[in-house]
Chain A
Amino acid sequence: MKKTGAQILLECLKREGVEVIFNYPGGAILPVNDELSRWDFKMILVRHEQGAVHAADGYARASGKAGVCIVTSGPGATNTVTGLATAFMDSVPVVVITGQVSTPLIGNDAFQEADIVGITRPCTKYNYLVTDVRDLATIVREAFYIAGSGRPGPVLVDLPKDIASGVTEFKYPQEVHIRGYQPTLDGHMQQIKRALNLMLKAHRPVIYAGGGVITAGAAQELTKIAEMLNIPVTTTLMGLGGFPGTHPLSLGMLGMHGTYRANMAVTDCDLLLAVGARFDDRVTGKIDAFAPKAEKIHIDIDPTSISKNVRVDVPIVGDCKRILSKMFALLQEEKGLDEHQRSLGPWHEQIEKWKNTHRLTYHQDEVIKPQYVIERIYEMTKGEAVITTEVGQNQMWTAQYYLFDHPRTLLTSGGLGTMGYGFPAAIGAQVAFPERTVIDIAGDGSIQMNIQELATAVQYKLPVKVAILNNGYLGMVRQWQELFYERRYSMTHIGNISPDFVKLAEAYGAMGLRATRPDEVVPVIREALRTPLPVLMDFVVEPEEGVYPMVPAGEAIDRMLLV
């Protein structure tokens, strides 16, 4: 049957199981938007294309399904770049369809033309320019396959206007075969056995778990193995929720703002099992001093992540879930596990000592402390909310004070560190789970980076809550200036010129609430959680509160600045 390019595109999206499309229309994408009016996708009109990609990303992280956006050419396409780079760094499956000027005009500096395939080559997993409508179905099929498989990532499909309105016989490709793309999923059995041997011999083992555990859906397998071998687990920012934060074996997050016990344990361990993590500089600090006494095992689906920064002794390339399952099966045949568990007693005692030496702490006096707000949100949501964050202090305090027990409940821009991510991501998560509580923990700086999406939340009646930790500063930068630039607060004070967030919320048709004293925090959160509207909560907090512990950039992670 003959179909237009636009029809083929939407037919392919249907067959991929796409339900939601984040969209911003424009000239070059008009044939697709016109066709969309005849389909039953849930359409979300954002207010900025960056918001569209972050929302699709939030939708994908919360649900595990690929997020989809459709935007126009030129500025519409270039506005997606930050969203794509964010999703790329954090391995999130997002498919972005951009309109493009008609093929005869490409390269002519036409109106709203941008070489978006060229621009996004380094920040997408793969991208396509469709030059023949007959290729379109295969390209869309491949795009979803590449985005969602292996180490997931964003894929962009650039669709010229004449291709979208061109007509061809529609044939749906049943299978995808890309000869240059065949991710390794099953770990090498010999390597898995070698790894287990090391794990069973270790006296001071630590598991270092990253976002790959969540992506692979391997949280349960990880927990089982940690419990069987009695190994403490620290997670990266991206790994929070991949191992229960309230579990007795949890060390909390490691790295620059990691807990004292996590950083000390990693520095002192004799075996480090890295799972779905990539030895990022915010985790390792000074690389030579990172787990210097440990034999290192590294499980990751991306071979380029292995031995990129840190040499490992036992690399295992493959899907975390499959590999951990195999380990589990082998462990079940193992005898003497009880004895092994007991032999780790001194190690656990040492960790307990570290835990009691420097706990995460703050002092709540007459001014609201940001940590206090997050602890109250944690209690009042019983740790069951989907939390997004912006980037900076708000993000780190969330990582420290909200204990994530479940995968896919913390959505945060870990790799790229994108301010303005949290709010649109929360919108995406709320679209995926209309019944769940979704809260963006924000700063007064970062919330202003995509504040326009309040209109989206209001339009679609998405009851997203935003907790603004309003300290009047670009707080994390201010903290670095305080510590490393002799308190010269260059360009970081924004307090006197920020809008009145309560009035702003009301102007958009959302609810605005404010707390200026500690005793107002709980009532504000309660009110926000009760209302079906989107809510901006403005918590006026201690202006110069810092995030601690902190490892200065480039230092060894056991050299922490404590409160």
Chain B
Amino acid sequence: MLHTINVLVENEFGVLARVAGLFSGRGFNIESLSVAETLDPKVSVMTIVTRGDDQVLEQITKQLNKLVCVIKVMDLVGKEYVAREMVLIKVAAKPETRAEILSIADIFRGKVVDVSPKSYTIEVTGDEEKIKAFLELLKPMGIKEMARTGRVALMRG
């Protein structure tokens, strides 16, 4: 089962290596990982998407908590939360497809962030499903390049 875990860590060098090393050393899996500073510049938040049964997840959260540089661990599974990813897609734009690309982007509330004679670069934010659907629709037009963030998440309320 997929779990999204938010981990508050000290914003110091080497912290990412400690967390990543914990996952690799113990054979835990990382589906995606994103790190950014919080409002407090001394603290960063890592959003880690991982997979495993209850016992594995129990170990993952306990092991994370055990790291000296980890301040707090929150497994969001079973809780109300919102999660988003962002993707930047450079899609081939030919005269006959330009209009269609724009209307698809519009339906997905995407934003065109760069235009050239041969391509559009579109920014889309959403959950995994939405981004997947968007990519499926654009595929026939010819996706030239893509950059995608990991998941970020917050508890509701």
Contact = CB atoms under 8 A, between A and B. Distances in A.
Interface string A133-149: 00000000000001000
Interface centre among B55, B59, B67, B68 (most CB of A within 10 A): B68
Contact of B66 (A121, A179, A304, A311): A304
Interface stretch (B10-18, B101-109, B111-119, B123-131): B10-18
Contact of B67 (A129, A180, A303, A308): A180
Contacts of B21: 121-122
Given A118-B17, A122-B25, A180-B71, A303 B65 contact: yes
B10 A180 contact: yes
Interface centre among A117, A178, A179 (most CB of B within 10 A): A179
Contacts of A121: 14, 17-18, 21
Contact of A303 (B14, B62, B70): B62
A126 interface: yes
Contacts of B63: 304
A138 to B, nearest CB: 13
A302 B17 CA distance: 22
Interface in B35-73: 55, 58-59, 62-63, 65-71
B68 A304 contact: no
Contacts of B71: 179-180
Given A304-B62, A304-B63, A181 B18 contact: no
A464 B70 CA distance: 43
A307 interface: yes
B68 A181 contact: yes
Interface in A96-134: 117-118, 121-122, 125-126, 129
Nearest to A146: B68
B73 to A, nearest CB: 10
Q: Please tell me the size bucket of the interface on B.
A: 10 to 19
Interface string B66-91: 11111100000000000000000000
Given A118-B17, A121-B21, A178 B68 contact: yes
Contacts of A302: 66
Contacts of B55: 307, 311
Contact of B59 (A117, A122, A178, A308): A308
A299 to B, nearest CB: 16
A125 B69 CA distance: 11
Contacts of A307: 55, 58
Nearest to B14: A117
Interface in B3-43: 9-10, 14, 17-18, 21, 25
Contacts of B59: 304, 308
Nearest to B42: A179
Interface in A285-338: 302-304, 307-308, 311
A118 B16 CA distance: 12
A118 B15 CA distance: 11
A180 B70 contact: yes
Interface residues of A, number: 18
Nearest to B65: A303
Contacts of A178: 68
A419 B67 CA distance: 29
A302 B62 CA distance: 9
A283 to B, nearest CB: 19
B18 A303 contact: no
A126 B21 CA distance: 13
Nearest to A308: B59
Interface in A362-417: none
A181 B70 CA distance: 8
Contacts of A122: 21, 25
Nearest to B15: A180
Interface in A167-224: 178-181
Contacts of A126: 68
Interface centre among B18, B63, B66, B70 (most CB of A within 10 A): B66
Interface centre among A129, A307, A311 (most CB of B within 10 A): A307
Interface centre among A180, A307, A311 (most CB of B within 10 A): A180
Nearest to B70: A180
B74 to A, nearest CB: 14
Interface centre among A129, A178, A304, A311 (most CB of B within 10 A): A304
Contacts of A118: 17
Contacts of B69: 180
A150 to B, nearest CB: 9
Contacts of B17: 118, 121
Given A117-B14, A121-B18, A121-B21, A180 B68 contact: yes
A501 B55 CA distance: 51
A179 B67 CA distance: 11
Nearest to B24: A122
Nearest to A317: B62
B66 A303 contact: yes
Interface centre among B10, B55, B62, B65 (most CB of A within 10 A): B62
A178 to B, nearest CB: 6
Contacts of B67: 180
Contacts of B14: 117, 121, 129
A251 B59 CA distance: 32
A126 B68 CA distance: 7
Contacts of B25: 122
A302 B21 CA distance: 19
Contacts of B58: 307
A128 B13 CA distance: 10
Nearest to B54: A307
Nearest to A181: B68
Interface of B: 9-10, 14, 17-18, 21, 25, 55, 58-59, 62-63, 65-71
Given A125-B68, A307-B55, 4 more contacts: A121-B17, A179-B71, A180-B68, A180-B69
Interface of A: 117-118, 121-122, 125-126, 129, 146, 178-181, 302-304, 307-308, 311
29 contacts: A117-B14, A118-B17, A121-B14, A121-B17, A121-B18, A121-B21, A122-B25, A126-B68, A129-B14, A146-B68, A178-B68, A179-B71, A180-B9, A180-B10, A180-B67, A180-B69, A180-B70, A180-B71, A181-B68, A302-B66, A303-B62, A303-B65, A303-B66, A304-B59, A304-B62, A304-B63, A307-B55, A307-B58, A311-B55
> Lowest 9 CB-CB distances: which A-B pairs, in order?
A304-B62, A181-B68, A126-B68, A180-B71, A303-B62, A180-B70, A122-B25, A180-B68, A304-B63
